[in-house]
Amino acid sequence: MLGIGKKDRELDAAVKELAGADTLAFGGVGIAGTLLPATEAYRHVERALDEHPDEARKKIDWLLKHGSPAGKAYAATLLERVDPAAARKAWAGLRDDDDEFTTFSGCIMGRATLREYATERLTGN
């Protein structure tokens, strides 16, 4: 039972990291390919979906409501793995949000609003 408490704390810490994230990156960034703390947290929650899906799903639902703009985008992306219909609903709900966040794709840094990002996800771009 001791291990379960540790896993809960680790999941809580990962969700907290995502909730305050200001940057969305799914891989390494910059020339060195450094993983951002939010990217590592995303990967932790992603693993938690496999290991204890019910608890992880509750955290993702919370993150959709209370996260930063980048945190909400991470949450909706995580939903795509386990519940595509819920993910589409989440992305649709985020299309009205003009809050901005930073994006990274390798060395390329950009900015996006949740509206723009959600629209891209819904149209498959």
DSSP letter string over the chain? Answer: -HHHHHHHHHHHHHHHHHHT--EE-SS-BTTTTBPPHHHHHHHHHHHHHHHSHHHHHHHHHHHHHHS-HHHHHHHHHHHHHH-HHHHHHHHHHHTT---EEEEEETTEEEEEEHHHHHHHHHHT-
pTM equals: 0.92
pLDDT of res. 59: 97
pLDDT of res. 22: 97
pLDDT of res. 125: 63
Q: Which residue shows structure tokens 């649709």?
A: 92
pLDDT of res. 54: 93
List the chain pLDDT tens, one digit each, 125 residues.
344 577 789 999 999 999 999 999 999 998 888 899 999 999 999 999 999 999 999 999 999 999 999 999 999 999 999 999 999 999 999 999 999 999 998 889 999 999 999 999 999 86
The Cα–Cα gap between 90 and 20 comes to 19
CA max distance for the chain: 44
User: Which structure tokens are listed for 10?
Assistant: 């680790």
pLDDT of res. 1: 39
